[in-house]
């Protein structure tokens, strides 16, 4: 059975999670004389821990997003999907 035959673009929601830790972001490339190391100072906001972004989109809009301090686990993801993505919606397919 091919489930894609019954899918309409408006009923398909794609979900993704992304984590970043700003204190570890540095510019990896630079210029210096041959044989010497590139030493740079990178200014930026310091966080004690990273952030996780949860995002759900359909074919034509953002359905929901959430920025969470620190890493996420299955409970965070389930709560996000149940309370923000599929709340009061019927007939949708999650990817």
Per the listing, tokens 């590139």 go with 38
What is the model's pLDDT at position 17? Answer: 92
Closest residue by Cα to residue 19 from 56, 66, 58: 66
Q: Is the pLDDT of residue 82 over 80?
A: yes
| Tokens standing for residue 70 | 């620190």
- Asked if residues 33 and 13 have their Cβ atoms less than 8 Å apart, the reply is no
β-strands 93-94, 12-20: how paired?
parallel
Q: Return the pLDDT at 44.
A: 58
Terminal Cα distance for the chain, rounded: 17
What is the average per-residue pLDDT within 23-39?
67
Instruction: Identify the pLDDT of residue 67.
Output: 92
Q: What is the three-class DSSP state of 49?
A: coil
Percent share of the chain, pLDDT over 70: 62
């Amino acid at each position: 059975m091919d489930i894609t035959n019954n899918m309409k673009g408006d009923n398909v929601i794609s979900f993704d999670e992304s984590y970043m830790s700003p204190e570890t972001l540095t510019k990896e490339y630079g210029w210096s004389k041959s044989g010497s190391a590139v030493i740079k100072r990178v200014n930026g906001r310091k966080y004690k821990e990273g952030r996780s972004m949860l995002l759900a989109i359909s074919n034509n809009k953002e359905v929901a997003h959430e920025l969470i301090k620190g890493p996420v686990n299955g409970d965070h993801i389930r709560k996000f999907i149940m309370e923000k993505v599929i709340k009061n919606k019927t007939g949708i397919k999650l990817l």
